[in-house]
């Protein structure tokens, strides 16, 4: 099946739509689940106020559209930046597959919506290299990070990502760091000013992320552990092929991969660090995870390893669908 996504053709969009439907077949028998967080950002308010009462058919269409748009956009970005030696749709395929590996990733959540912001941030960060006038771009990056945090509080960890990206991609200039920090601070400055003028400063804490160390898996079942183990396995395989071909790439592309690597390892602790962040917040790692794992599906000349990894994912997805239907 992987060979269907290893070339650049408009027909692959059709295959992606079919794959998204197959991965989430349970939506034909059970209603899509909305994960309605409390006090974790504007996206949760949007879900509570505008989507919670909508019919299940509409929610199904919304979910499928969101994951397909994110998957195709991610694939296009990595292709445009020439981060792979060949052009294909394996990144989009991987993204769609992974949305069905964990039951809570098959839900409409604030974390899922935030992935669009994370991808946008990555696009801006890749434009920093050799930019002759980076200050406007840095200010926009800071603003985007701050707005993303307001939309979903656990994304506060993205501050570390942009600071590291600036340190890696550009030579140190204190003015650029100050511009980035100004962009991060400015939205909260306006927010605090508005709350102060309306005598509502006590409500400020509802716009700030809360730190609370926790274990999101209190009573994991064997299939959930199997799904996580599978993700670790395919990540290691993807990293192997990425490392094998990364040294052949130009320095700008290697720096882009470095930013993606930081994005991956920075987003991993979110379910363990932020209050109210359950296993669904792990959806945020899908963008960097799919990017690295796509190397395992796209690079091997023989199809044994990619097909084996694909069908292992399908087995886990079929079980998750069955469990969601039984509920």
pLDDT at site 186: 92
pLDDT band at 257 (very low <50, low <70, confident <90, very high): very high
Domain assignment present for residue 320? The answer is yes
3-class secondary-structure state, position 34:
strand
Q: Environment class of residue 293 by beta-carbon count within 10 Å: exposed (0-12), middle (13-18) or buried (19+)?
A: buried
Q: Between these two residues, 217 and 12, which has the higher pLDDT value?
A: 12
Residue 26 · residue 321 · CB < 8 Å: yes
pLDDT at site 131: 78
pLDDT at site 118: 95
> How would DSSP label each residue in 301-313?
SSSHHHHHHHHHH
User: Is residue 44's pLDDT more than 70?
Assistant: yes
Q: Between these two residues, 53 and 314, which has the higher pLDDT value?
A: 314
Domain assignment present for residue 125? The answer is yes
Average pLDDT along the chain:
88
User: Is residue 144's pLDDT more than 90?
Assistant: yes
pLDDT band at 314 (very low <50, low <70, confident <90, very high): very high
Q: Over pLDDT 70: what percentage of the chain?
A: 98
* pLDDT tens figures, 259-278: 999 999 999 888 888 866 77
Q: Token pair of 127, please?
A: 């434009």
* pLDDT tens figures, 68-113: 999 999 999 999 888 888 888 999 999 999 999 988 898 899 999 9
Domain assignment present for residue 169? The answer is no
Other residues' Cβ atoms within 10 Å of the Cβ of residue 127: 14
**22-28 mean pLDDT:** 89
Q: How far apart are CA 131 and CA 140, in angstroms?
A: 14
pLDDT at site 321: 86
Residue 313 · residue 101 · CB < 8 Å: yes
Number of structural domains in the chain: 1
Domain assignment present for residue 155? The answer is no
Domain assignment present for residue 225? The answer is yes
Domain assignment present for residue 70? The answer is yes
> Domain limits at 20?
2-131+212-326
pLDDT band at 205 (very low <50, low <70, confident <90, very high): confident
Domain assignment present for residue 220? The answer is yes
How many Å separate Cα 72 from the centre of its chain? 13
Q: How far apart are CA 264 and CA 262, in angstroms?
A: 5
**193-219 mean pLDDT:** 78
Torsion from C-alpha of 60, 36, 50, 151, nearest 10 degrees: -110
pLDDT at site 218: 64
In angstroms, what CA-CA distances link 194 with 114, 152, 187? 25, 20, 11
**40-44 mean pLDDT:** 86
pLDDT at site 327: 65
User: Is residue 31's pLDDT more than 90?
Assistant: no
Angle, alpha carbons 50-44-182 (nearest 5°): 120
Domain assignment present for residue 112? The answer is yes
């Amino acid at each position: 099946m992987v060979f269907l996504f290893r070339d650049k053709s408009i027909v692959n969009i059709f295959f992606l739509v079919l794959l998204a439907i197959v991965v989430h077949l349970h939506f034909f028998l059970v209603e899509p689940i909305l994960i309605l967080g409390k006090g974790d950002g504007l996206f949760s308010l949007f879900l509570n106020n505008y989507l919670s009462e909508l019919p299940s058919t509409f929610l199904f269409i919304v979910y499928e559209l969101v994951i397909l748009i994110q998957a195709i956009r991610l694939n296009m970005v990595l292709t445009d930046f020439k981060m792979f030696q060949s052009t294909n749709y394996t990144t989009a395929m991987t993204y769609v597959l992974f949305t069905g590996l964990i039951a809570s990733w098959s839900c409409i959540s604030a974390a899922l919506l935030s992935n669009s912001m994370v991808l946008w941030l990555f696009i801006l960060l890749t434009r920093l290299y050799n930019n002759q006038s980076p200050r406007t771009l840095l200010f926009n990056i800071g603003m985007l990070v701050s707005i993303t945090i307001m939309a979903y509080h656990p994304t506060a960890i993205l501050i570390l990502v942009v600071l590291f990206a600036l340190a890696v991609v550009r030579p140190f200039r204190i003015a650029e760091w100050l511009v980035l920090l100004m962009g991060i601070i400015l939205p909260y400055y306006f927010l605090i000013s508005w709350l102060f003028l309306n005598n509502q400063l006590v409500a400020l804490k509802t716009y700030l992320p809360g730190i609370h160390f926790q274990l999101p898996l209190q009573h994991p079942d064997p299939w959930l552990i199997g799904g996580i183990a599978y993700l670790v396995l395919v990540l290691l395989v993807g990293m192997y092929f990425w490392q094998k071909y990364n040294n052949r790439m130009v320095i700008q592309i290697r720096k882009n991969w470095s930013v993606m690597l930081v994005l991956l390892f920075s987003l991993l602790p979110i379910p363990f660090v932020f209050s109210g962040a359950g296993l669904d917040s792990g959806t945020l790692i899908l963008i960097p995870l799919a990017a690295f794992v796509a190397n395992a599906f796209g690079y091997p000349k023989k199809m044994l390893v990619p097909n084996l990894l694909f069908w292992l994912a399908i087995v886990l997805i079929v079980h998750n669908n069955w469990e969601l239907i039984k509920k």
